[in-house]
Structure 1
Amino acid sequence: AGALKNHQRALVLGQRSFGKGSVQMLFDNPDHSALKLTIAQYLTPGDISIQSVGITPTIELSPVLLTDETTYFFGSPNEAHGEALLPEHLVSEKSQASKIQKPLMTLKYLRDYELLKEQRDKPNEIIIDFETRFAQNILVETKSAKLKQLLKASEKVLSEAMVAQEKLIDQKLRSKEIQWSSKVNKVRAKGNAEVKLSPEAGLVQAGESLKVTVTVQNTGKNPLHKVRGITKSENQLFKGHEFLFGHIPPNESRSWTEEIKVNDSFISRQDEVKVVFEAAGNAVIPPLKFKTAIQALPVPHLALRYELNDQETGDGNGLLSPGEEVELQLYYKNLGEGETRELVGQLATLGKGKVPGIFIKRGRVTPEDQQVSKDEEGMIKFLFKIKEAWSEPSISAYLSLVDPKLRESSSDKINFAVYPSKRLKKKKLALFAKATPSHLNLIEGGVSGKQLTLRASPLSSSAVVAYVSQAQSDACIIDGSGTCIWYRVKADTKRYYWVDASDAQTKTQQEIAAIKAEQLSYEMSPPRIKLAPLSLAVDQDRKTIKVKGRVTSRQALLDLMVYVNRRKVFFLPKPAMDNPHGVDFVAEVPLKGGVNHISIYARVNENVTSISSVFVSKPKSEAEKAADKK
């Protein structure tokens, strides 16, 4: 489109494009992080960049959407999107010519909502919409591909379309009791506006809706014409909502209600919203302001445990061997205060550069019960097959359970040992713990004293499924000299678990009962972050805010970090869990004018991280307001 437009070989119709004019490459680092590097830019003919600007159409086709749920009249559905709105977007020196370009003309048209839904439901079918039909009509009127002739041909088509669309828009507004196409005079008119919020005071919980009713009263002696309002806010949720009032005679009023849905995943915050009014002719309506507050939902906290089942699809010995098909059973428990909204489990091979040792046959699973309340449990099943020619001693994969609606998840890299079946020998022994695992003191309400660590697979990096003081083995894996290196332990669930031989004392004359299901625990649990209450008021002028909290974890923490607006302001490496089961922290966080996004990160390792976020606002200084205008 850019090439055809710059060479004046086409008439470009539609809305301004996204503005992606740069090329990036992704480089993987040895520590599993990645570097995204910009290596080139796209240029249209004449060495003109569209980066963060987009291609400006010759004729702008601006859709008007008027439904019970959505109002787009003076704004555009595309205004909330674009490269320029992305944080830290690139700006090209060669984009100045693109910035100053404006459409030669603009045509507003009433978008057919039913047709729009049909396009979304049938993405592979060709469905003729207004824009396509408008382009066809122009092509019928011309025999040339030159811009000059195309523009001339478009005059008649554009004129007819404007008349027809104005009529359709006016009819749609009248169906909503809005008189729009009244005769406009330029005598002075004035009005005032007020707002009513439901729930009252604008306090709304995530997952619910805020109804905003704006009423405009004509307080002058002359009528108001084509009155409209639009919201402005630092919060994208409350930005760009349109209120249409149309013609308002003297001493009369008109109201318009917008219902704003707050997603389940919204974080607690307060915002100021401003409604700016415009009207045809010489009219003045002062803007109005109101405050809103979003209360985040209590969130779930998903703790996991997985077990390997090869009894139905494999050889049934609990030991993974090349060529064997295995079912992975993922058990989960909600330890948080909030209920899950939706759950998706995923088993995936590791990323780029990692040779997978498995073929995943069932890697994405959705539980039947999506709503899991506090302390409730569930289980889903994955299926994979180990490669026939796999010769490495272990395989790895990535396991996750996600609530996409609340954006809460629990995930980790998981590891399994791979042994040939001939390495497994019968060995009936009573096993007793030699020592106390070093991190047991982290587990609140957990076991204590000398404990055996039961793992899902005979590998020291495999997940822990339980801690027990004693267990009964029925077999062991031997090394080249015939010495037992891992003991196999059977549970009454008919599953096998594994104990490192170096951690166990053995006796031959004693028999111990099988491990019971209630002894199994959920050790794959990300850290839990609990923040002390913060004042979120938007009108508090403060340079810093003190963020306090507590992190509890079933595993030692790698580090604890606090970021504000993507800038690290607090770092605590390997925090000591001196306070039983957790660590307390205090961070003095600097604030800038506007909205500050504060995030607390608690990491166990590169794969397990918990994040807790909050938005804190501060009034902008005059210098910051001036910088925004630039």
Structure 2
Amino acid sequence: MNAHRPPLQSLLPRALIVAMLAVGVGSVARDAIAQRPRGEQLSDLAVFNRVVVLVKEQYVEPARIEPREMLRAALKAVEKSVPEVLVEDVGDDAVKVFIGSAAGTEVRTFPTRDVTSLWEMSFRLASIFRFLETRFGADVDRREVEYAAVNGMLGKLDPHSTLLEPRFSQEMKMSTKGEFGGLGIVISIRDGGLTVISPIEGTPADAVGIKAQDKIVKIGEESTVNMGLDEAVERLRGKPGTPVTIWVMRKGWEESRRFDIVRAVIKVDAVSTERTGDFAYVKIKQFAGHVAEDVAAGIDKAARGKAPLRGVILDLRNNPGGLLEQAIEVSNLFLKDGVLVVTQEGQGVGSRREVKANPANQRVDLPVVVLVNGGSASASEIVAGALKNRGRGFIVGDQTFGKGSVQQLYDFPDTSALKLTIGQYLTPGDESIQSVGITPDLQLQPVLAADRENLNLLPDENTREEDLDRHLNDARTKTNKPAFELAYLAETVDTDEAERRAANAKFVDDFEIRLARRLLEQAPAGTDFRRTPLGRDGLRAIAATVVAQMRDEEEQRIALALGKIGVDWARAPSGSPSAGPIVVSVVDNKPALAGGTLSLTLEAKNNGSTPAFRVRGNTESTLGYLADREFLYGRLGPGEAKRFTVDVKIPRDLQGRRDVIRVALADDARSLGTVDVPVTIIGLDRPRFAYSLVVDDGNGKDTSGNGDGLLQVGERVALVVGVKNTGKGAAAEPTALLKNLGGAEVFIDVGRQRLDALAPGATGLARFSFKVTASPDQPAPGKVQLRLQVFDGVMGDYLAEKLTLPIKAPSPSTARSRAVVEASAAIPVLAAAEPQARVLGRLDAGARVESVGEANGFVRLDLGGGNLYGYVAGSAVGPARGKASTTAQGIPQGFSMVYGRDPPTIRFVDAAGAALGEVVTTDAATLELVAQIADDGAVADAYVFVGDQKVHYQRLASAGPTAATLRHSLALKPGVNVVTVVAREDDEFAQREVLTVYSTRGDPFADKKVVRH
């Protein structure tokens, strides 16, 4: 929940609106900081110190401010964002900071015992940053480092205080404001292209005829090929009234067409309304800047039907919140007097503020059913809590998220913004929902039972506020129980349909809506609700009858569905004796191959003399897709044993691992304890990629240049990338991407290439195309900056590297002449017609190749049927004594390509040097990690993560070849430890290898960090 503090003399509800502009923060020192221009040095802490001032003066719970721990957290965040940095604690007294550079690894120890205030924390961090910043490489973004430090520090306070980087800050403001300057289109990346999902009716894009599925190929003069979605949004949005030109390709068109569009204010529809029978259905997606107005208008519109409205269904499901002011105004639509919400900011006198309803703003007297679930948070909970606690509305659904804190936005000069928790809110009656949420009057439990593959009978453990690290607590919370509970047979919706429903504003009449309508239908027709109100108590009396009827209906439907898959889900007869002991044993848990199916079979046996009913088990796991799996046995007669098998599809990209699943067992009367099931996943061999590249600037179907293999302004070239799978596993869906990292000097026409599947050792060619241009009013560009990525869409393995290609001065075109030449000896083939060009491949002595021209004393060779060209010194070849000899793919006999960019290899070994398997099992508390790193060139450094914690950094070789050994003693937690070693040649070109270590020491579930969805 976001809020903005007004001038102290104002006590109006408007005081609680989110700050959209920079705000004063109330002290001479703070104003001085705000006026100071951002320094050039990281150690100036320009943003960090502003945040410290605000935390000191505004944070809701000063007792949580622990400067020493906040300093450590800031440094740990820097450590994660900068590979060359490692931070180690030296007890409670100091931190040891390591920084790697070309000169080697330097280390310095900084005391922390004396860090007892926020200012001492800032001074110490400034000292540490002065040590680091002079040793950072040119690739380290100083601003990003400071942002990381700020967020690391704030993470020690609570999960909602955070620094929003500029792009996220602007997005948040637009989403809460509910409008922005733009074209009025919903866009996404589909098949690598910037695609219009839908134009918004009545917007500029709609007016000029933009249609769904249109591909935007150019914005202004920039190609959108491999342009990120956030980059495209940044270019399309802007000040209303300003023009933007886009080029669009549509199915059936032979070429793209130009659209000149003037931006306008685009209003985001956060509210949708529908008349369903005699009831108004109102869906609030989030509490943006005009929601209350839209809710009132929507109900008014629904009331224009032939029959009068008899009630309102207010749908707040999956509404994450938004503006506190709008939550208050929506509540006021239904409540004419009394307290709507109480805010408690900090601990000081006068920090409590009651916001009361304005009778003039009350608009709706109709009965209200409010739909909520675990995704209803913050502002949604204010509305639901106000209507529930004031007896106005009947709440249906699931326990809400439990976010009862208030955040305020503070803008900074660099356009970042601090979102800081400044208070908590209380629902009427001074009841806090922090970490607890709003308990519905009617708790719903959807049941899926279409088949054993789509089985979900028991409640899933969804992530809520209480599961977040460092969540706030409040003694004013109350644990309530729902008045009614109802399990119902839910519709099975596949993933595609769920996505369509989420993206489409079209009304879907689901079970919850039908239930709400059924409750409201019981109110007598023709009732004047202004004179005879029907509130929460009245609806609760109606629900007693309706729920009893529906419980019988739904239990029969669920039992019938489960019966079809062989489960007797009968309830125990009233008064029946308790069953005897139930013994559960593991029948089958054979290892499963990644990409295959893990089958787990457990047997439950009733060793008692009376039947047991509704016997079941539910899984807990550290892996999401192994959690909340259900074993359903149903009724077990005396001495009866039943088996139940759960099949889990294992992703192909999962690393090999040993793990354990804990199954919690119960019947309809009691808990039956737990059973642990060992699980083994065998990982697939993985691909890895090496590449070579050459510029094709000849005159071909997609190229026009002088043919020397060098970039010049005005050329349209193909960047040909040879890709080789040097790994042990296949790449089923290899894809290569080329992205422009510069400006308008490069216009990419083709930037995405899907290659055929690559078996180990197999090769393929990706052919990108782009044009090199120069702006008439700008100096001629001297280089082209690109990023090349090669990845496998199935396994996820990838290679990435920044490319800097020089732009040369114009030179004469290659003299064209076709002939067959023969290599007089084994010779290198270069990627361009200059001696310092990279080696593309090699020709054996006597190899006969077709030549297509000469440039700068080099002969241009056709090496791939017109798809690949290379250059050899003219003196190294002569006329051939026969025809050119090629393979079926058009590659010359005797030519071998050199894949010169091959990332380092990483090999895990034991103390004796023997290779380890992908999973190591140990009962020790530590493991001595040994990784051998090799490369034919220099490997700058390597570092180690265990889970998400960086534990080791090591500077390696400044010159190649590299043969290094990395050693580090790892502290292990019980259960699975995922160890990742990264070896880098530079800031992007790197190799990652993963080793899974399973520790049998201790209980892996002791810290309760099981996965919750």
Q: TM-score, normalised by structure 2?
A: 0.49
1:600, distance to aligned residue in structure 2 (A): 0.6
Tell me, yes or no, if structure 1 residue 109 matches structure 2 residue 488.
yes
Tell me, yes or no, if structure 1 residue 610 matches structure 2 residue 991.
yes
Hey, what does 1:194 align to over in structure 2? Answer: 585
1:245, distance to aligned residue in structure 2 (A): 0.8
Greater alpha carbon shift after TM alignment, 179-188 vs 8-17 = 8-17
Which of 766, 781, 785 does residue 392 from structure 1 map onto? Answer: 781
* 3-state SS in 1 of match to 2:1006: helix
CA contact (8 A) 1:303 1:525 kept: yes
Q: Deviations over 1:503-542 (max 9, x none)?
A: xxx9x9775689968243112222222223169566x431
Call closer, same or farther: CA 1:326–1:181 in 2, change over 3 Å.
same
CA distance in 2, matches of 1:298, 1:582: 23
Hey, what does 1:465 align to over in structure 2? Answer: 840
CA contact (8 A) 1:410 1:525 kept: no
CA distance in 2, matches of 1:287, 1:425: 78
Hey, what does 1:446 align to over in structure 2? Answer: none
CA contact (8 A) 1:594 1:618 kept: yes
CA distance in 1, matches of 2:566, 2:701: 67
CA distance in 1, matches of 2:747, 2:432: 45
Hey, what does 1:378 align to over in structure 2? Answer: 764
Tell me, yes or no, if structure 1 residue 268 matches structure 2 residue 659.
no
Hey, what does 1:527 align to over in structure 2? Answer: 904
1:599, distance to aligned residue in structure 2 (A): 1.0
Tell me, yes or no, if structure 1 residue 413 matches structure 2 residue 802.
yes
Hey, what does 1:128 align to over in structure 2? Answer: 509
Q: How many residues align?
A: 567
Partner AA of 1:615 in structure 2: T
Partner AA of 1:162 in structure 2: R
Which of 268, 290, 303 does residue 690 from structure 2 map onto? Answer: 303
CA contact (8 A) 1:49 1:92 kept: no
Hey, what does 1:361 align to over in structure 2? Answer: 749
1:16, distance to aligned residue in structure 2 (A): 4.9
CA contact (8 A) 1:44 1:50 kept: no
Q: Deviations over 1:384-414 (max 9, x none)?
A: 3334527321111212121132121112112
Call closer, same or farther: CA 1:381–1:103 in 2, change over 3 Å.
farther
Tell me, yes or no, if structure 1 residue 39 matches structure 2 residue 430.
no
Partner AA of 2:679 in structure 1: T
Tell me, yes or no, if structure 1 residue 68 matches structure 2 residue 452.
yes
Hey, what does 1:7 align to over in structure 2? Answer: 386
Which of 586, 592, 595 does residue 207 from structure 1 map onto? Answer: 595
CA distance in 2, matches of 1:25, 1:454: 56
1:169, distance to aligned residue in structure 2 (A): 0.5
Which of 529, 544, 562 does residue 926 from structure 2 map onto? Answer: 544
Q: Deviations over 1:436-481 (max 9, x none)?
A: xxxxxxxxxxxxxx99793469898x976347899999334xxxxx
1:126, distance to aligned residue in structure 2 (A): 4.0
Call closer, same or farther: CA 1:454–1:623 in 2, change over 3 Å.
closer
CA distance in 1, matches of 2:971, 2:463: 29
Q: Pairwise mapping of residues 443-462 of structure 1 onto structure 2 (< 5 A)?
A: 454-455=830-831
* 3-state SS in 1 of match to 2:595: coil
Hey, what does 2:982 align to over in structure 1? Answer: 601
Hey, what does 2:569 align to over in structure 1? Answer: 180
Hey, what does 2:28 align to over in structure 1? Answer: none
Hey, what does 1:564 align to over in structure 2? Answer: 946
Partner AA of 1:299 in structure 2: R
Q: Which runs of 5+ in 2 are unaligned?
A: 1-379, 524-528, 817-825, 881-890, 910-915
CA distance in 2, matches of 1:132, 1:108: 15
Aligned-pair identity in percent equals 23
> Quick check: which one's strand share is greater?
1
Hey, what does 2:518 align to over in structure 1? Answer: 137
1:583, distance to aligned residue in structure 2 (A): 2.6
Call closer, same or farther: CA 1:293–1:152 in 2, change over 3 Å.
same
* 3-state SS in 2 of match to 1:7: helix
Hey, what does 1:435 align to over in structure 2? Answer: none
CA distance in 2, matches of 1:458, 1:340: 35
Call closer, same or farther: CA 1:225–1:331 in 2, change over 3 Å.
same
CA distance in 1, matches of 2:978, 2:664: 26
Q: Deviations over 1:191-226 (max 9, x none)?
A: 21222225xxx3222111111111111111111111
CA distance in 2, matches of 1:221, 1:96: 47
Partner AA of 1:289 in structure 2: D
* 3-state SS in 2 of match to 1:163: helix
Hey, what does 2:84 align to over in structure 1? Answer: none
CA contact (8 A) 1:51 1:91 kept: no
Partner AA of 2:953 in structure 1: F
CA distance in 1, matches of 2:564, 2:838: 63
Tell me, yes or no, if structure 1 residue 492 matches structure 2 residue 862.
yes
> Quick check: which one's helix share is greater?
2
Q: TM-score, normalised by structure 1?
A: 0.76
Call closer, same or farther: CA 1:46–1:386 in 2, change over 3 Å.
farther
Call closer, same or farther: CA 1:365–1:452 in 2, change over 3 Å.
closer
Greater alpha carbon shift after TM alignment, 250-259 vs 467-476 = 467-476
Partner AA of 1:531 in structure 2: F
Q: Deviations over 1:68-113 (max 9, x none)?
A: 313211133xx3656776xxx5534267767956655433221222
Call closer, same or farther: CA 1:465–1:136 in 2, change over 3 Å.
farther
1:320, distance to aligned residue in structure 2 (A): 3.3
Partner AA of 1:590 in structure 2: A
Tell me, yes or no, if structure 1 residue 474 matches structure 2 residue 854.
yes
Partner AA of 1:606 in structure 2: D
CA distance in 2, matches of 1:374, 1:594: 33
1:239, distance to aligned residue in structure 2 (A): 2.6
CA distance in 2, matches of 1:427, 1:105: 87
* 3-state SS in 2 of match to 1:625: coil
CA distance in 1, matches of 2:640, 2:972: 45
1:149, distance to aligned residue in structure 2 (A): 5.2
